[in-house]
Every structure is written in structure tokens, then in C-alpha cells.
Amino acid sequence: MDYRERAILTLDEFCDYVGIGKTKAREILKSRYCTFSFRIGNRLCVNRRKLDAWLEQHSEL
């Protein structure tokens, strides 16, 4: 299954999906204002559906 179809993305998949580097990705995902990231143990994960909604909302600005 392609990661673009999965509901949860890893940090590497998030970087590839959005087109940014790991340092910037960690900065975004660790922000208190980020509504689409969560942790499973020490791993940062991304809810792709919430990310897509966030990107849609902020791309209209």
C-alpha cells in the first residue's frame, strides 16, 4: 500500500508528502499549535486526513 493512502504517516513519509526536510518537519510537528501530529512512544506521527484539511485551509490564504 502506498503511504499516500494510509491514515498515519511517519516522519520520513511526512517529509516526502509535504516536500520539506526532517529538521523543519520536527519543528512543525513539535509545535503546540500543530493539530495533526501525535506521538506513539518516541515516534512522531501524522494524521494524514487532518494534515490534508490543514493544508487545504492554509493554501487558500
Return mean pLDDT, the chain.
93
pTM for the predicted model, two decimal places: 0.88
pLDDT in tens, 10-35: 999 999 999 999 999 999 999 999 99
| Contact criterion met (CB below 8 Å) for 61 and 43 | no
Indicate the pairing of strand 8-9 with strand 43-47: antiparallel
| Side-chain half-sphere exposure of 28, counting CA atoms within 13 A | 18
Alpha carbons 53 and 61: distance in angstroms, whole number: 14
Alpha carbons 21 and 28: distance in angstroms, whole number: 11
Domains and CATH numbers, the chain: 3-59 (3.90.105)
